[in-house]
Amino acid sequence: MAETVIQLGNKKRKSAFLNKVKELLPEGGNLNACLTCGLCASGCPATGLADMDPRKFLRMAALGMDEEIAASDWPWMCTMCQRCIYACPMKIDIPQLIFNARALRPREQRPVGILGSCDMALRNDSCSAMGATPEDFEFVVDDVLEEYREAQPEFADMEAPIDKEGAEFFLNQNSREPVTEPDEMVPLWKILHLAGVNWTYGSKGWGGENYCMFLADDDAWKKTTGLSVAQANDLGVKTYLNTE
């Protein structure tokens, strides 16, 4: 695909990012589809942060301001919640544009917290951003379960299974909770117990958050997600339930 050339005053800019933008617009259109109505910005939790909003971001993309977009911290403040898509009368996929904008930065220059959490999730089969191994997770779950069974007799037969074959639901778990807030896992267990749900964790791929996706590292987030899905398939679980 040939690069798009954009004239800004007397300066020409070549924008590889703009070509990606065009591919994501409805029916192969261009950014003239944007009405600059501001509906995207009105419902965006990140509007006003770093002197930016979705409408301004979109116009910068249209003007080929790749370097300015890459240097801005605002694309990293977007939660990709998709409110803008639902509000946009032209259905422009701004979160996907944000994902591509994040990839404009060299990986090593992306936010340290997200980068470190992604790299930690890649270090073992748990996919835990806190670095908890499958063995650590099993120990904590068994320990907490035993404690609550003893302390609350009404839940004496409650289960928190790991690698149970043929369960209805495969659950993941926020990595922080078994490491720093293990009691926060219990309310969900109780709900599932009282509802009579047949569920299981996986010893592999139980880390629920996906920092690699937010890092815009395609290969890394596909690896972590693929490991989790593979574990669910190996167990013959019918439904993958993403708690995050």
What structural domains does the chain harbor?
4-105 (1.10.1060.10), 112-241 (no CATH)
Closest to 32 (Cα-Cα) out of 94, 97, 92: 92
Structure tokens at 194: 């009282």
Tell me the per-residue pLDDT of 104-153, one tens digit each, with 9 for 90 and over.
999 999 999 999 999 999 999 999 999 999 999 999 999 999 999 999 99
Distance from C-alpha of 16 to C-alpha of 37, rounded to nearest angstrom = 26
pTM for this model (two decimals): 0.82
CA distances from 54 to 13, 157, 214 (A): 22, 50, 17
Structure tokens at 65: 């301001």
Closest to 46 (Cα-Cα) out of 75, 3, 88: 75
134-151 and 186-194 helices, crossing angle to 10°: 60
Tell me the per-residue pLDDT of 58-77, one tens digit each, with 9 for 90 and over.
888 888 888 999 999 999 99
